[in-house]
Structure 1
């Protein structure tokens, strides 16, 4: 067979096929692996944070529900600074200044936050006066005394109450009063306050108008309620 190529010319070499060179430093696989690792680390961090929060929450619930002991607020001392009773026909009026010292006891390993402490002085069913002590924070295992003074100026009583007051004061040298106390307390753990509890106390006191002093004092804690 006769060749069409010119005599003496060599056949042309076939053109090299196109190909891509593999570079082991290509970042596609490495970038994908790094992204997956970063995602796993983020998930583990979120999971560990959630578990830590749940553990803290469970511990807080256990502490608040099981371990705390109720705080106590007691009327320790009542001093009569002034007392005067005047009678006019079927009415009577009483003027009175009392100095009260309350003792707050926190037996817990955590602090207690108290709201304003309200106390009322009553004669029979009649409210003679009411005052308050500003709230405060009490450290763990702590005892704190707070004082207050209440002044009652010519509080009028009518009919049966007036007659009872005058008879007891003049004949028996005694005036029976009640001091009612009420305060809200919150146990604090890790800067979290538990739901408020109301601490109440009912104190019976007897005053001698002649001696201007307390002759009897008896207090009953009414307990803690939500």
Structure 2
């Protein structure tokens, strides 16, 4: 009877010792995880302070350089402005824009892929896209975007108003965009820098040319 009880007592004591030893290891893991989170938070704060105090980030400058307007595959060459507008409504319009982007910062900038929306009297006509690109410090780049306004879109909008503006040889379009940018420091990206683009473009339908354009840009620092 005594020899049968000995293994039972030994088993219970071994189980209690293993459970008690697992408690310190669990608390040690919690401490390590806590210190790791604190370390990451300190590194993030230090990186933000480095960007703000030493780099002194500036918003990138975006200027509308050139705008081209074309009627896509016109069937006839109209002399009157109303005929040109009618052809545009039946064939579609292609608007090509080029922007000069200036990076005056001490570090590089990466622009995420963004889109530009073309509106006629607050009615969306089409969208243009710019792919992601990077710029080294103190450089200027030229980017292009093209917007195709389909006949279906033109027919859904206020075509009569468009024809009236065309008879006056003056059509005003609006271009809105929000190309997000990030500063790149030692391989790390800063928080996003918002740059709002708001352009007003006045077009001559008879000449298919831009009469004037005016843009405003509003950037928010890091």
Same fold? TM cut 0.5? yes
Q: Distance in 1 between matches of 2:160 and 2:69?
A: 22
* Cα displacement (A) at 1:205: 0.4
* Cα displacement (A) at 1:57: 6.6
1:180 aligns with 2:167: no
What are the ranges of 5 or more consecutive residues in structure 1 without an aligned counterpart? 1-53
Task: Please say which structure displays the higher CA radius of gyration.
Answer: 1
1:215 is aligned to 211
TM-score, normalised relative to structure 2: 0.67
The answer on whether the counterparts of 1:176 and 1:207 sit within 8 Å (CA) in structure 2 is yes
Q: Distance in 1 between matches of 2:99 and 2:51?
A: 26
3-state DSSP of counterpart to 1:163: helix
Q: Please state which structure has a larger fraction of its residues in helix.
A: 2
1:23 is aligned to none
3-state DSSP of counterpart to 2:92: strand
1:86 is aligned to 86
Q: Distance in 2 between matches of 1:191 and 1:165?
A: 49
1:124 is aligned to 121
Aligned residues: 167
Matches within 5 A, 1:12-161: 58=46, 60-66=47-53, 67-82=56-71, 84-86=84-86, 95-154=92-151, 155-157=153-155, 161=158
Q: Distance in 2 between matches of 1:57 and 1:168?
A: 54
* Cα displacement (A) at 1:141: 0.5
What are the ranges of 5 or more consecutive residues in structure 2 without an aligned counterpart? 1-41, 73-83
TM-score, normalised relative to structure 1: 0.66
RMSD of aligned Cα (Å): 2.6
Q: Please state which structure has a larger fraction of its residues in strand.
A: 1
3-state DSSP of counterpart to 2:49: helix
